[in-house]
């Protein structure tokens, strides 16, 4: 269902916000009270900060520092490398001042126990900032602002860590109907956005105002689930204080996953953004409240994204929210809230979509909105899986209006074509289906399996295609080389022959030997053709006749790229 721009206007002016609804969803036990009793605490600076270079969707930034370098708080230590990943990446910064003690592979907050290149910093305790200059975006072009946000490392803090600058279009032509600010925070246990809105509403609104300007948005709708009355009140007060004419804080009904971007857009505007489409195609763009706050800090205060609010909850003595430096080992943070002795797992994110952590040594990253300590009591292992009885509970709960049990049958039977036909890739993996399943089937796992199998198949096909192309090209090249070699030999023989038979007064400009019948000999024709080809051959620019300085620079770049590649993909051959 789509709503025209005029409808938006009408609704806005009457100020009676008509909310829409999404199908499905569940109402789990929210468990948010425990961590909202106390204000945000500042997490202590750890002995070592482990800052992964890859913290956003996109390519791995290039390290700008090496061992023993002194870094300042807010200093860029990883730059989005356009030569490797294009624009799709975001910078990372030192979260405090200190010395780089290592640039090496470290364990990531990822269930697979994956390692990635990290800059390890030993803080010097002085917390010495770089020179912080506010960035007045009004005196810069949109592209300059985008580059600034990229270099300030601002990414989506709702969990997806999509680089924020990419959501600000470079052209001025498209105007946005509705800017949506997501403060719904629908996952159980997580309260970091709630805490931020309660305590720093004005800063968030300043960030929202910047986005409003940058995107030339018609209206701004700030959606917050109605189980956060204090946050709603604080945000409303902040909006009133700044008195923007077209900004509204709206309480949306509490139902997981109301905070999913697609669901929130649907609830606030009635627009459904399908899989594979950008919301901007529908005149809507959505940002998390934490992201708006980070934008305010980057633009108005000149501070890059080096910390975030993290909820520590679950099986801990004192659940609460912390302001945490990016790179802080989770162990340091958990020590503040004290895990109960029966804690048997750590989850990053909420209990519905979070990921199990391989260790408590992994660092807090920009994607870390919550660290949940689990125990057998809190999250009992699922009862034994029973066969699907097609009760349809999953279909009732699915916010994407899918038929999860059908997808389950297809995924299980590896009928992936059929699974895609039944819109497997529209699944947002919110976990509602698994949550309600009376047979305790880990449905989402089946979809993850099917998706990864399809991806693997696609990339296999791609690499097979590539290999075939390579092979065919090599064959072609070898064939051409053989031809050229024989042509060369023939030409050589021909010239020596003509030289022997040459008449001295033959003009130098026209030395093609002419046979008795008046036509050129074949060997000579070939020789002439080769000569023409040589003349036509274009030398690539900037590869020859370089100055020593340029050559040195190229060598340095090559060395750096090789180093990154060996560190990031040690198992890959260098020239792959």
Partner 1 sequence: MSNSPYLLKATSVQSVMLRVLLALLPGLVAYIWFFGTAIVVQIVLASLTALAAEALVLYLRGKPLALFLTDGSALVTAWLIALSFPPLAPWWLVVLATLTAIIVAKHLYGGLGQNPFNPAMVAFALMIVAYPQLMSRWPVPGAIDFATQWSIIFGPYANHALDAITMATPLDALRTALHSAGTLPSAPTTVVSALASNPAIGHLAGRGWEWIAAGYLVGGLWLMQQRIITWHLPTAFLATLFLLSGLASVIDPANFAGPLFHLFGGGAMLAAFFIVTDPVSAATTPCGKLIFAAGVALLTWVIRCFGAYPDGIAFAVLLMNIAVPLIDMATQPRVFGYKKTGDDVP
- Identify which range of 86-94, 353-361, 527-535, 549-557 contacts partner 1 by CB under 8 A: 353-361
Select the residue interacting with partner 1 from 261, 422, 494, 527 (CB under 8 A). Answer: 422
User: Among 147, 73, 51, which Cα is nearest to 368's?
Assistant: 51
Closest distance between partner 1 and the C-beta of residue 152, in Å? 31
Residue 558 lies near partner 1 (rule: CB under 8 A)? no
Select the residue interacting with partner 1 from 87, 248, 426, 563 (CB under 8 A). Answer: 426
Q: Which residues pair with 356 in a beta bridge?
A: 347
User: Among 390, 444, 428, which Cα is nearest to 258's?
Assistant: 428
Residue 453 lies near partner 1 (rule: CB under 8 A)? no
Sign of CA dihedral 350, 352, 354, 357: positive
Residue 479 lies near partner 1 (rule: CB under 8 A)? no
Residue 367 lies near partner 1 (rule: CB under 8 A)? no
Q: Which is nearer to partner 1, 281 or 465 (CB)?
A: 281
- Identify which range of 227-235, 304-312, 422-430, 543-551 contacts partner 1 by CB under 8 A: 422-430
Contact set for partner 1, span 487-526 (CB under 8 A): none
User: What does the block give as tokens for 344?
Assistant: 């048997």
Contact set for partner 1, span 188-207 (CB under 8 A): 188
Residue 272 lies near partner 1 (rule: CB under 8 A)? yes
- Identify which range of 176-184, 229-237, 274-282, 532-540 contacts partner 1 by CB under 8 A: 274-282
Residue 257 lies near partner 1 (rule: CB under 8 A)? no
Residue 402 lies near partner 1 (rule: CB under 8 A)? yes
- The 3-state DSSP class for residue 194 equals helix
Closest distance between partner 1 and the C-beta of residue 438, in Å? 5
Residue 277 lies near partner 1 (rule: CB under 8 A)? yes
Select the residue interacting with partner 1 from 5, 134, 274, 522 (CB under 8 A). Answer: 274
- The 3-state DSSP class for residue 501 equals helix
570 vs 562: CA distance, rounded Å: 11
- Identify which range of 79-87, 399-407, 511-519, 530-538 contacts partner 1 by CB under 8 A: 399-407
Residue 353 lies near partner 1 (rule: CB under 8 A)? yes
Phi first, then psi, for residue 115 (nearest 5°) are -110, 155
User: Among 306, 375, 328, which Cα is nearest to 347's?
Assistant: 375
Closest distance between partner 1 and the C-beta of residue 117, in Å? 26
- Identify which range of 115-123, 169-177, 350-358, 553-561 contacts partner 1 by CB under 8 A: 350-358
Residue 440 lies near partner 1 (rule: CB under 8 A)? yes
**Residue spans of alpha helices (H) in 41-157:** 82-85, 142-151
Residue 448 lies near partner 1 (rule: CB under 8 A)? yes
Select the residue interacting with partner 1 from 123, 290, 399, 513 (CB under 8 A). Answer: 399
Residue 28 lies near partner 1 (rule: CB under 8 A)? yes
Sign of CA dihedral 407, 412, 413, 414: positive
476-505: b or e for each residue (b if 16 or more CB lie within 10 Å)?
A: eeeeeeeeeeebeeebeebbeebeeeeeee
Cα pseudo-dihedral 37, 39, 40, 44, rounded to 10: -100
Q: Which is nearer to partner 1, 64 or 378 (CB)?
A: 378
- Identify which range of 130-138, 200-208, 215-223, 426-434 contacts partner 1 by CB under 8 A: 426-434
Cβ-contact 325, 49 below 8 angstroms: yes
User: Among 414, 405, 406, which Cα is nearest to 450's?
Assistant: 414
Select the residue interacting with partner 1 from 175, 240, 275, 377 (CB under 8 A). Answer: 275
Closest distance between partner 1 and the C-beta of residue 281, in Å? 10
User: Among 369, 352, 320, 312, which Cα is nearest to 157's?
Assistant: 369
User: What does the block give as tokens for 525?
Assistant: 């024709």
Q: Which is nearer to partner 1, 389 or 552 (CB)?
A: 389
How many residues of this chain bind partner 1 (CB under 8 A)? 63
User: Among 187, 202, 201, 205, which Cα is nearest to 260's?
Assistant: 187
188 vs 4: CA distance, rounded Å: 34
Residue 126 lies near partner 1 (rule: CB under 8 A)? no
Q: Which is nearer to partner 1, 5 or 111 (CB)?
A: 111
Strand order in the sheet with 176-182: 247-252, 217-225, 176-182, 284-288
Biggest distance spanned by C-alpha atoms of the chain = 107
Residue 417 lies near partner 1 (rule: CB under 8 A)? no
Residue 349 lies near partner 1 (rule: CB under 8 A)? yes
**How far, CA to CA in Å, does 490 sit from each of 493, 496, 525?**
5, 10, 11
Residue 212 lies near partner 1 (rule: CB under 8 A)? no
Sign of CA dihedral 9, 216, 366, 398: positive
Summarize as ranges the residues that interact with partner 1 (CB under 8 A). 22-23, 26, 28-29, 111, 188, 262, 266, 272-277, 344-345, 347, 349, 351-356, 374, 379, 381-384, 386-393, 395-396, 399-403, 405-406, 422-423, 426, 431, 434-440, 442, 444-445, 448
């Amino acid at each position: 269902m789509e709503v025209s721009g005029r409808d938006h206007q009408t609704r806005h002016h009457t100020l009676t916000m008509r909310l829409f609804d999404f199908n499905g969803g569940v109402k789990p036990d929210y468990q948010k009270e425990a961590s909202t009793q106390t204000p945000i605490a500042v997490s202590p600076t750890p002995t070592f900060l482990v800052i992964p270079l890859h913290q956003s969707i996109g390519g791995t930034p290039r390290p700008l520092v090496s061992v023993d370098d002194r870094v300042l708080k807010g200093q860029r230590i990883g730059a989005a490398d356009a030569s490797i990943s294009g624009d799709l990446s975001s910078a990372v910064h030192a979260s405090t001042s200190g010395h780089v003690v290592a640039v090496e592979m470290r364990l990531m907050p990822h269930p697979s126990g994956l390692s990635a290149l990290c800059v390890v910093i030993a803080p010097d305790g002085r917390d010495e900032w770089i020179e912080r200059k506010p960035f007045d975006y009004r005196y810069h072009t949109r592209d300059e602002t985008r580059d600034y946000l990229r270099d300030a490392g601002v990414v989506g803090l709702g969990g997806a860590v999509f680089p924020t600058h990419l959501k600000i279009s470079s052209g001025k032509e498209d105007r946005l109907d509705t800017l949506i600010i997501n403060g719904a925070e629908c996952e159980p246990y997580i309260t970091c956005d709630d805490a931020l809105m309660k305590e720093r509403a004005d800063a968030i609104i300043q960030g929202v105002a910047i986005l409003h300007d940058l995107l030339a948005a018609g209206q701004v709708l700030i959606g917050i689930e109605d189980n956060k009355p204090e946050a709603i009140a604080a945000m409303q007060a902040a909006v009133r204080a700044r008195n923007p004419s077209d900004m509204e804080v709206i309480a949306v009904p509490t139902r997981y996953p109301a905070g999913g971007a697609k669901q929130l857009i649907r609830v606030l505007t009635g627009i459904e953004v399908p899989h594979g489409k950008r919301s901007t195609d529908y005149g809507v763009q959505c940002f998390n409240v934490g992201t708006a706050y980070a934008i305010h800090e980057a633009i108005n205060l000149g501070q890059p994204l080096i910390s975030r609010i993290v909820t520590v909850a679950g099986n801990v003595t004192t659940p609460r929210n912390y302001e945490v430096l990016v790179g802080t080992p989770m162990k340091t943070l958990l020590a503040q809230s004290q895990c109960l002795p029966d804690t048997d797992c750590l989850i990053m994110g909420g209990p519905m979509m979070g990921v199990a952590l391989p260790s408590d040594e992994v660092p807090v990253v920009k994607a870390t909105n919550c660290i949940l300590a689990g125990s057998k009591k809190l999250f009992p292992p699922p009862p034994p899986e029973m066969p699907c009885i097609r009760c349809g509970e999953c279909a009732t709960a699915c916010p994407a209006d899918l038929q999860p049990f059908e997808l389950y049958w297809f995924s299980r039977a590896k009928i992936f074509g059929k699974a895609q036909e039944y819109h497997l890739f529209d699944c947002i993996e919110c976990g509602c289906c698994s949550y309600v399943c009376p047979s305790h089937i880990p449905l989402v796992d089946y979809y993850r399996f099917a998706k990864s199998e399809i991806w693997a198949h696609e990339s296999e096909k791609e690499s097979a295609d590539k290999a075939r192309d390579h092979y065919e090209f090599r064959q072609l090249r070898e064939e051409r080389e053989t031809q050229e070699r024989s042509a060369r030999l023939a030409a050589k023989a021909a010239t020596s022959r003509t030289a022997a038979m040459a008449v001295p007064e033959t003009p130098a400009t026209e030395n093609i030997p002419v046979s008795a019948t008046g036509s050129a000999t074949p060997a000579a024709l070939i020789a002439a053709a080769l000569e023409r080809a040589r003349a036509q051959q274009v030398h690539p620019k900037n590869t020859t006749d370089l100055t020593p300085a340029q050559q040195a620079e190229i060598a340095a770049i090559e060395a750096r790229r090789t180093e990154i590649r060996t560190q990031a993909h040690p198992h890959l051959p260098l020239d792959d």
